[in-house]
């Protein structure tokens, strides 16, 4: 499951978006900070943790 790093040209906010396996990436991305529909992927991270924030021992995807 690839994780895309998205950047908004309006507010310069960067955020991550997980695209599930066997699905198409969205044709339109919405900024999670300002709500702009002009956000664009700047690169793809294939093997990074899907959470934007640090996670603890109870992370459901890490089995901790």
Regarding pTM above 0.85, the answer is no
With a CB cutoff of 8 Å and minimum separation 6, the contacts of 49 are 55, 61, 62
In this predicted model, what pLDDT tens digit does every residue of 6-63 receive, in sequence order? 999 999 999 988 888 788 889 999 999 999 999 999 987 655 555 555 566 666 565 5
Long-range Cβ contact pairs of 7-15 (< 8 A, separation 24 or more): 7/39, 7/40, 7/42, 8/33, 8/34, 8/36, 8/38, 8/39, 9/36, 9/38, 9/39, 9/40, 10/34, 10/36, 10/38, 11/36, 14/42, 15/52
Q: May I ask the CATH class of domain 3-45? A: mainly beta
pLDDT in tens, 13-27: 999 888 887 888 899
């Amino acid at each position: 499951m690839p994780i895309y790093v998205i950047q908004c040209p309006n507010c310069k906010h960067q955020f991550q978006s997980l695209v599930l396996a066997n699905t198409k990436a969205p044709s339109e991305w919405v900024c999670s900070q300002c709500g702009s529909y002009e956000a664009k992927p700047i690169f793809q991270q294939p093997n990074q943790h899907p959470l934007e924030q640090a996670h603890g021992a109870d992370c459901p995807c890490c089995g901790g």
